[in-house]
Amino acid sequence: MDKNEVKGKMHIEDFGLLIFFDKFGYRKQIHGKVKYIEEDGTIFFKDTERYEFHIPPESIVSFELKEMLPEPKEYKGKPITYDGGRFFYTGTKKDIDLKR
C-alpha cells in the first residue's frame, strides 16, 4: 500500500486484521487497533496482546475491519474479575480481587 491508500483505508482507533511483511520478509497477521498515522504513512498499531508495531506503508498487504467483542462479565453463570491478563472465577459466585 502507498501512503494515500493507508490514509484512505485506516483511521485512528479502527479495530481489525492487519497483514504485513516484517523486516525479515515473513508475512504476519495481527489483530488490534490503529493508534497513530504519520505524514509519510507509517502506522503505529497496537495488537490485542499490547505489543506496538511501527509499520511502513510499503510493507502493508491489507487491512480488514473487524468487530471487537465485548469484554466478558461472567463465565458459566459466575462473575469474573479481570487482573489485566487472566480471567479468574470462583465456584461460590464471589468476586476475587487479585490487585494487591
Other CB atoms within 10 A of residue 55 CB? 21
Comparing 100 with 14, which gets the higher pLDDT? Answer: 14
CB-based contact 18:33 (threshold 8 Å):
no
Indicate whether 75 belongs to any domain.
no
pLDDT > 70? residue 7: yes
Residues spanned by the domain of 52: 3-65
pLDDT > 90? residue 18: yes
Q: What CA–CA distance (Å, rounded) separates 13 from 88? A: 28
Indicate whether 71 belongs to any domain.
no
Would you state the pLDDT for residue 100?
46
Structural domain count of the chain: 1
CA end-to-end span of the chain, whole Å? 46
Indicate whether 33 belongs to any domain.
yes
Q: What is the CATH number of the domain that holds 59?
A: 2.30.30.520
pLDDT in tens, 23-67: 999 999 999 999 999 998 899 999 887 889 999 999 999 999 988
> Who contacts 93 (Cβ-Cβ below 8 Å, separation ≥6)?
78, 79
pLDDT in tens, 72-94: 777 777 777 666 655 565 666 56
Phi/psi region, residue 32 (left: phi>0; alpha: psi -120 to 50; beta: rest), is: left
Indicate whether 98 belongs to any domain.
no
Looking at residue 25, what DSSP letter applies? S
Indicate whether 95 belongs to any domain.
no
Indicate whether 77 belongs to any domain.
no
Would you state the pLDDT for residue 91?
62
